Amino acid sequence: MKDLIRTGILGVVSLGVVFLSFSAYGPPAAQAATGISAPIPLVSPRTPADPAFTAWVKSFRKEALAAGVKAPVYDRAMSGLNPDPDVIAADRNQPEFSKPVWGYLESALSDKRVSNGQAMLRSHEKALARIEKAYGVDRRVVVAIWGLESAYGEFTGSLHVLRSLATLGYDGRREAFAKSQLIAALKIIQAGDITPERMMGSWAGAMGQTQFIPTTYLIHAVDFDGDGRRDIWNSANDALASTAHLLSRSGWKTGKGWGYEVRLPSGFDYAQADRSNRRSIAQWRAMGVRMADGGALPARDDAQSAAILLPSGHRGPAFLVLPNFKAILAYNNSTSYALAVGLLSQRFVGRGEIASDWPRDERPLKRSEREALQRALTNAGYDTKGVDGIVGYNTRQAIRRYQKAHGLPADGHPNERLLRKLNSR
């Protein structure tokens, strides 16, 4: 869920460029039984025993027990484990899928995803009404997350979570993350919510119909169907309610929207378009910001704070995003993901179309090019505070400073044209 390397649609997203990682899923896990009755060796027959890994499992036992995992649970759940080479390969060789935001949204908002979501809203109407009443979160937003994370429960992950996390912990590159998630996974098993062989998910440990990582599960998963277990794998009610609980705890405002497409006034200072620059709707209205169709911003939202989002820079659509958009970002800190959730939730009821055109002549920068852009900016005196290929706040601010100094719209948007200009110095 909140881990940056996830199955399904995930994102490290940077101003219109979406970096996607897709994993092959198997069929959803079968119905789980509670309790642990015997050691369960999650061993691949084609992977020989690894003495070093066995020693790691033995040494990690002390750490797990100190964290509250009971010895019988650890011994039975971790018995017979061996490392999964596919997990190590996935971690070290993640392909870089660079899509412009409009390409990502076209996939996320496909006709099939919309129609399937509408069907789910109908078939789960009573449960969703109860969930909406309990947590105050728009049911359509919850279903949109369900659709993006697992195609409404169809693809929930085909790997054993314990084995994947133990492999990552043993391998060492993601050791701290893997250890914390492995301990959380063992506590989930200890609570009786799922058995080790039924705890299926992604190679990075995201689980269930709405793809929670174990630590997030421990905090936010709920037993909404009342069977005594929090089962996000097989119970749609538990998965959807858990998602609503997470959004509620992340600041979701009941009865409010996530935002809307807007039209910016002529001469607008694009440096104002940053998620850190929040103003009231009334203030944005006074600055000349209007709805995409030219109408006035809704007065009902005047008291809400909002920020301008330019997912593809000043040449593309502009959105005014409200606090509920920030709550979606707590689920996945990707502006394009949050935008997809919001728009998909609207598509279910015949809205959510984008009026403005995307700059389809732009090509997203590859990671090596983003690193080159950061180096060039820093060398030119606009420090990006590091070279990592991720266009975050510091890099956007460096781009804005450069753009202002050279008479360009200061939207902080990285593109090939900007890189060429810097390289021509």
Q: Is the pLDDT of residue 325 over 90?
A: yes
The class (CATH top level) of 367-423 is mainly alpha
* Alpha-helix residue ranges (DSSP H) falling in 294-364: 323-331, 335-347
Please name the residue that has the structure tokens 């009334």. Answer: 282
Identify the pLDDT of residue 44: 52
Distance CA 86, CA 144 (A): 30
Averaged pLDDT, 208-214: 97
- Provide the pLDDT confidence category of residue 97 given band limits of 50, 70 and 90: low
Averaged pLDDT, 272-301: 96
CB of 409 closer than 8 Å to CB of 270: yes
Distance CA 337, CA 183 (A): 28
Averaged pLDDT, 180-208: 97
Identify the pLDDT of residue 173: 87
Identify the pLDDT of residue 43: 55
Residue 408's closest CA among 421, 424, 389, 395?
Answer: 421
The residue ranking higher by pLDDT, 97 or 421, is 421
Averaged pLDDT, 321-325: 98
What is the distance in angstroms between the CA of the first residue and the CA of the last residue of the chain?
A: 42
Distance CA 219, CA 140 (A): 23
Q: Is the pLDDT of residue 292 over 70?
A: yes
Identify the pLDDT of residue 22: 28
Tens-digit pLDDT profile for residues 109-168 = 999 999 999 999 999 999 999 999 999 999 999 999 999 999 999 999 999 999 999 999
Please name the residue that has the structure tokens 């509620």. Answer: 248
Burial class from Cβ neighbours inside 10 Å (0-12, 13-18, 19+) for residue 277 reads exposed
Q: Is the pLDDT of residue 286 over 70?
A: yes
- Provide the pLDDT confidence category of residue 18 given band limits of 50, 70 and 90: very low
Per the prediction, the chain carries an average pLDDT of 89
Averaged pLDDT, 89-105: 85
CB of 348 closer than 8 Å to CB of 311: no
Domain boundaries, the chain: 1-252, 259-321, 367-423
Distance CA 73, CA 215 (A): 18
Distance CA 45, CA 56 (A): 20
Burial class from Cβ neighbours inside 10 Å (0-12, 13-18, 19+) for residue 357 reads exposed
Q: Is the pLDDT of residue 332 over 50?
A: yes
What tokens does 351 get? 């809205």
CB of 393 closer than 8 Å to CB of 126: no
Residue 368's closest CA among 383, 387, 343, 355?
Answer: 387
Q: Is the pLDDT of residue 37 over 50?
A: no
Furthest-apart CA atoms within the chain: distance in Å: 70
Neighbours of 107 (CB within 10 A): 14
Tens-digit pLDDT profile for residues 215-224 = 999 999 999 9
- Provide the pLDDT confidence category of residue 38 given band limits of 50, 70 and 90: very low
Q: Is the pLDDT of residue 31 over 70?
A: no
Averaged pLDDT, 305-325: 97
